[in-house]
Amino acid sequence: MDLRQGLLRWFRQHARDLPWRHDRTPYRVWVSELMLQQTQVKTALPYYQRWMERFPDLRTLAKAPLSDVLKAWEGLGYYRRARFLHEGAKHIQEHLGGHFPNTREKLLELPGIGPYTSAAIASLAFGLPHAVLDGNVERVLLRLTATRESTDSPGLKARLSRWADGFFDPKHPGPFNEAMMELGATVCTPVQPSCTRCPFAAGCLARRQMCAHEIPVPPVKVPAKKISRDFQVAFHGGRVLLAQPEESGRWQGLWTFPLLPSYSESRFHAGKSAPKSRSRPLPSENATPFLVRHSIVQERHESRFHPDFHRGETRSGCRWHSLKRARSLPMPIAHRKAFEHFFPD
Ligand code: SF4
């Protein structure tokens, strides 16, 4: 049996039962693909289910206010993806008569859709012959060919793309693409691939050369940038002060605690110590700040939230909200954690 047939047979027997694999409309595929970028399946599952209850179709999503869309995404991170879905839904409703683009070229015109997502939607939702190339597929191809080159080496991406096209099964575009991604996610995993369960075992060069664990070769590590910020948690008269959403940038559309100006964006690199001097004292110096650490791609964030429950000063670009209202507003996850810490439900 050829490798591709073996893969499809393996997929029929072992595919996980995931909600986006049922009732495969372009809209459902689009939402799942954006949700699964940078997010693991088990994290995305409850979000996907809630999203489909709240925004079951394009029309509902297009009509929803951005704050509702961001609220439904709260905690998943990379909020640009939610904004892309919202903008895309509005674009399809307003300019394409509610008809989802049905070719790869037209899909590429939607916000936030690049080569991978367009190939995924075109093949999974419309059965068009486009091979996908995501991190899982790349790893499988690199191991099949025992390629020990660093993943950032020049020209490798283009070669991988040619291999993916050459290996692709145009008679079964959707199932083939999904099977390759599923194999990478569940069998040919980054650490300890389960070669004995793999439909490619007989033809895989990395397995034959016993070097699967060395592939892919990661690029030389750039030290993560450390970003330290201090925020004010002002609470007065039953209301909390929040900074209005940015008009652009990572937190566009999200409410946050106000940044403390004396501390704004004290950036320093890993290995060096944080700046010690500061120009103004923090509010409520003796109250304990709440610390949240999290990572985003090449950045390590350290956010300190300082309670300030004695003054009711308004700051420009900020608004006071009741706790009930603040609870319903979309916030970045670090700020939501701080909110829940200081104002538990
Ligand atoms: Fe990956 Fe092993 Fe399968 Fe090769 S045989 S593709 S290394 S799981």
SS (H, E, C) 115-180: HHHHHHHHHHHHCCCCCCCCHHHHHHHHHHCCCCCECCCCCHHHHHHHHHHHHCCCCCHHHHHHHH
What pLDDT score was predicted for residue 281?
43
Q: Report cis status (omega within 30 of 0) of the bond before 216.
A: yes
What pLDDT score was predicted for residue 272?
36
What pLDDT score was predicted for residue 262?
60
- What residues are annotated to the active site? 33
Q: From CA 55, how far away is CA 61, in angstroms rounded? A: 5
Residue 65 DSSP label: -
Q: How far is the CA of 215 from the centre of ligand 1 (A)?
A: 10
**Residue bearing tokens 């409850």:** 46
What pLDDT score was predicted for residue 282?
44
What pLDDT score was predicted for residue 1?
63
Question: Residue 302 forms beta bridges with which residues?
Answer: 228, 293
What pLDDT score was predicted for residue 264?
45
What pLDDT score was predicted for residue 221?
85
What pLDDT score was predicted for residue 338?
96
Phi, psi of 70 (to 5 degrees): -65, -35
Nearest-CA residue for ligand 1 atom 1 is 188
Nearest-CA residue for ligand 1 atom 4 is 204
Q: Report, as ranges of residue numbers, the positions in the chain whose pLDDT lies below 50.
A: 264-286
Atom of ligand 1 nearest to the CA of 194: 8
pLDDT in tens, 144-192: 999 999 999 999 999 999 999 999 999 999 999 999 999 999 999 999 9
Q: How far is the CA of 5 from the centre of ligand 1 (A)?
A: 16
Neighbours of 248 (CB within 10 A): 7
What pLDDT score was predicted for residue 69?
97
Q: How far is the CA of 139 from the centre of ligand 1 (A)?
A: 9
**Residue bearing tokens 């693909």:** 33
What pLDDT score was predicted for residue 248?
80
**Half-sphere exposure (CA, 13 Å, Cβ side) for 202?**
7
Residue 229 CB less than 6 A away from ligand 1: no
What pLDDT score was predicted for residue 20?
95
Residue 242 CB less than 6 A away from ligand 1: no
What is the DSSP pairing of strand 225-236 with strand 266-269?
antiparallel
